[in-house]
Amino acid sequence: MPRYRCPSCCCGPAIVLHPPKGAIPICSRCRTPLEKQPLVKPLPLLVLVSVGTVLVLSSFPMLFNPSPSPPLIPDPGPDRRQDETV
């Protein structure tokens, strides 16, 4: 669906039009030619892809470095075993 926006009328909604081939749609308020608006703007899409890539790639080192194992409880030495039995 082709969407058009008026460059002169600020903040107006995008209008969905189906003009005939070769015809240029004109704004009904200010009588200026409408500009065709892309479905997805390229700059925000590029920012989204780059931020997502950075987040995914920054998580790779965490996947390959295992978390440290919990500390083991030290085994009491022979001195303490004798004291406990007496």
In tens, the pLDDT along 33-76 reads 888 887 778 898 999 999 999 998 888 777 777 777 777 777 66
Global pTM exceeds 0.85: no
pLDDT at 17: 78
Residue listed under structure tokens 């030495």: 77
Integer Cα distance of 27 and 5 in angstroms: 8
